[in-house]
């Protein structure tokens, strides 16, 4: 049980970004594409578990001093560093084996993901700005991998949106940690000494505006309109508007944001917003009108 918990399965919701290519390519009703995307999701769940194991082994001493992280299996001693690293090696072999089953190209992207995030755990997490950008790139690689697994070309707009959206979450997480830990912040996470709430607020403001503008431009872009047969996706703009503003409200007024995955599954208004956005997007892309033509 402790070994399973050390993989942080509650964080695996982040890997749903693998399905972005499946949904926006119009292949959601293609059984073969759904099967490949689902296997890709499983591969990334295993690989993200590997990254968490490496990260927790690296940070085990600091985590023991953290009020929330001290209970993690590796920090608490329930799982030894040796056990964690052996498990990480086994899962890496299994995951990359599954990735090769899909395609060599997908395996290459998956290997890039685990390599980049491992480097993040070992060094980049201590480099100001690059720490947040690396986390954001992890989400971009997830979406890219999902497209390669099907395979379909991935929209540059969607990759940009993944980068900006993930950067928004990463910066918000840094701000929440900085505020919650207060004077002890730099002792628990060294990189927090390089940030201040004011600096992070400025960065978040830039990324927030960029994310919303990029999403709006994507929905009305000529290529998007041609692909989906109209500008219907622009009707979904209120959902990201509300979702981002709700998240900012939780960060600033409720002192949340330290764990984006936790907020997503526990904050009912935000969860409802994401669910309605997803259902609306699927309905607009896949709904057949009276003429029987597929609106895509």
Query: 53-93, pLDDT tens digit by residue?
Result: 998 898 888 778 777 777 888 888 888 889 999 999 999 99
Do 36 and 148 touch, CB atoms closer than 8 A?
no
Distance CA 78, CA 127 (A): 30
Banded pLDDT at 289 (limits 50, 70, 90)? very low
Counting DSSP H helices and E strands in the chain, the numbers are: 15, 0
In this model, does residue 113 exceed pLDDT 50? yes
pLDDT tens-digit series, residues 5-40: 888 888 888 899 999 989 988 888 899 999 999 999
Banded pLDDT at 224 (limits 50, 70, 90)? confident
pLDDT tens-digit series, residues 225-259: 888 888 889 999 999 999 999 998 988 887 665 56
Q: What is the DSSP string of 117-154?
A: HHHHHHTGGGSTTHHHHHHHHHHHHHHHHHHHHTT-PP
> 117 phi and psi, to 5 degrees?
-70, -30
pLDDT tens-digit series, residues 139-157: 999 999 999 999 998 888 8
> 246 phi and psi, to 5 degrees?
-65, -40
pTM listed for this prediction: 0.86
Q: For residue 184, what pLDDT is reported?
A: 63
Cβ neighbours of residue 68 under 8 Å, at least 6 residues apart? Answer: 258
Cβ atoms < 10 Å from Cβ of 1: 7
What are the beta bridge partners of residue 294? 288
């Amino acid at each position: 049980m402790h070994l399973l918990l050390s993989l942080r399965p509650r964080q695996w919701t982040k890997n749903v970004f693998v399905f972005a290519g499946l949904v926006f390519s119009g292949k959601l009703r293609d059984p073969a594409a759904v099967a490949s995307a689902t296997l890709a999701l499983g591969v990334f769940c295993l690989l993200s578990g590997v990254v968490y194991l490496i990260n927790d082994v690296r940070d085990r001493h600091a985590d023991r001093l953290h009020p929330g992280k001290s209970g993690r299996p590796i920090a608490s001693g329930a799982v030894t560093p040796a056990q964690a690293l052996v498990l990480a090696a086994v899962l890496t072999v299994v995951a990359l084996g599954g990735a090769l089953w899909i395609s060599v190209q997908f395996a290459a992207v998956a290997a890039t993901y685990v390599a980049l995030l491992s480097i993040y755990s070992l060094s980049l997490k201590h480099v100001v700005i690059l720490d947040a950008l690396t986390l954001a790139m992890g989400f971009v690689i997830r979406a890219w991998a999902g497209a390669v697994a099907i395979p379909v070309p991935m929209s540059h707009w969607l990759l940009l949106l993944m980068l900006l959206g993930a950067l928004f979450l990463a910066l918000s997480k840094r701000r929440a940690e900085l505020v919650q830990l207060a004077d002890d912040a730099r002792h628990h996470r060294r990189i927090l000494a390089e940030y201040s709430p004011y600096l992070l607020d400025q960065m978040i403001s830039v990324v927030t505006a960029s994310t919303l503008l990029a999403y709006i431009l994507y929905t009305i872009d000529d290529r998007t309109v041609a692909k989906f047969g109209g500008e219907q996706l622009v009707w979904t703009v209120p959902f990201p508007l509300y979702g981002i503003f709700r998240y900012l409200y939780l960060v600033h007024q409720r002192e949340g944001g330290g764990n984006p995955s936790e907020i997503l599954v526990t904050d009912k208004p935000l969860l409802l917003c994401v669910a309605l956005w997803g259902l609306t997007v699927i309905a607009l892309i896949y709904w057949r009108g009276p003429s029987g033509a597929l609106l895509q």
